[in-house]
Structure 1
Amino acid sequence: MKKYYLRAAFIIAVGLFISGCAGKSDLSLNIINGEKLEENQLLTTKNSIYLVNGGDGMKTTYLSVVYGEEIAEGSGLAAVNIANEQLCAYTAPVVLEKLVITEKEALENAKLNQSDYVIYSRVEKWTDPLGINCTVGYYTDEASVVLSLYSTKDEKLLNTTRLSKSSCPFKINNIPVSTGSAEILYEELFANWKNNMFAKVSK
């Protein structure tokens, strides 16, 4: 009986220790314009998509308090590459626009491409500190991307969603035991967004 209590105490202690070491993670998908799609409005795997790079976001550094945030060069392309990889494995032809263009230009191109929908991807934040430097509340891995979904035929904005998440890698004794990055965060964010925008595929 004594051994049982000792084992239980040990398990609880380890659980508390691990939970205390785990990094904070904030995940959100917030519709900031338009409405959530109804069941009959959801995209299907037969729909073609024009995926557009809306530009780079900003990043936080140690010097941001003094000099402000810096441009996260290449973040716009990184975000659309992640989205493209997921969409290509899931739906009909996807045309990827790597050059930064306006939403008006995107709709014009989508008509030429005969794409059913436009996904316009604009990065807001894209921060990727070294794991050991990641500090909850200030200097964290962070991805924040605004996605606007348009119907090409109607030239209509269906909705705009802000996908955002920040976290620090799991640490033990202040040493990260896993990697973290804006890319890893956005892979999860986009997968969740995609699941909300596409009709479920029946097996």
Structure 2
Amino acid sequence: MTRAIRLESINVGASEPIAIGKRVQQTGIHKRPVSGPVEVGIEGVAGDVIVDGRHHGGVDQAVYLYSREDYDWWSAQLQRELAPGIFGENLTLSAFPEQPLRIGDRLRIADVVLELSAPRIPCATFGARMADPQFVARFIDAARPGVYARVLQGGRLEAGADVQFEPVATPSVTVAEMFTLWVNKPRDPARMEALLATPVSERGRAKLASWLARPD
């Protein structure tokens, strides 16, 4: 039996300052739950601010998802409760499907259809958000990256909605495999070619092409 999954929280962020070392910059990573119905379109969740459009957001990484199960794991590791949105996700789900997530899998929430496109690769801003300069390394070691998705069909979402999982019909690379490929060297050219055959994000596709052109 497929496990029941629900949408626990919808989170959006405004532009706020954050200190990264001695440098202060604006970021939209401070996401907080919102109540009531929220519109989701091809560029993401209404009201959510993307400050660094070069590295974040875009139609292929319009929505970031994380799970309550991963939150519970991190709360145990960090010995503190973590509020939804602290990982910068737009949608907090009660869980991810039991089977490994694959690039191209789809999630249907009410009228909204999402297609998984890439894992989250942590950056210095994320470490600053967690007030721990070592957190990027911890996040990589934990291998609990969450997942980005493009919006194939927009609509209105509200916390509590059921989430339906629609696995990709053709063989695909798992989100975990893509994450490992990104954070470890040497990178296997065959796995990169396989990933290019999936509906991976355009940002990821460009990086793969550059790596293949200049092997490790």
Shorter-chain TM range is under 0.3
Normalised by the length of structure 1, the TM-score is: 0.24
More helix by share: 1
Normalised by the length of structure 2, the TM-score is: 0.23
Which is higher, the Rg of structure 1 or of structure 2? Answer: 1
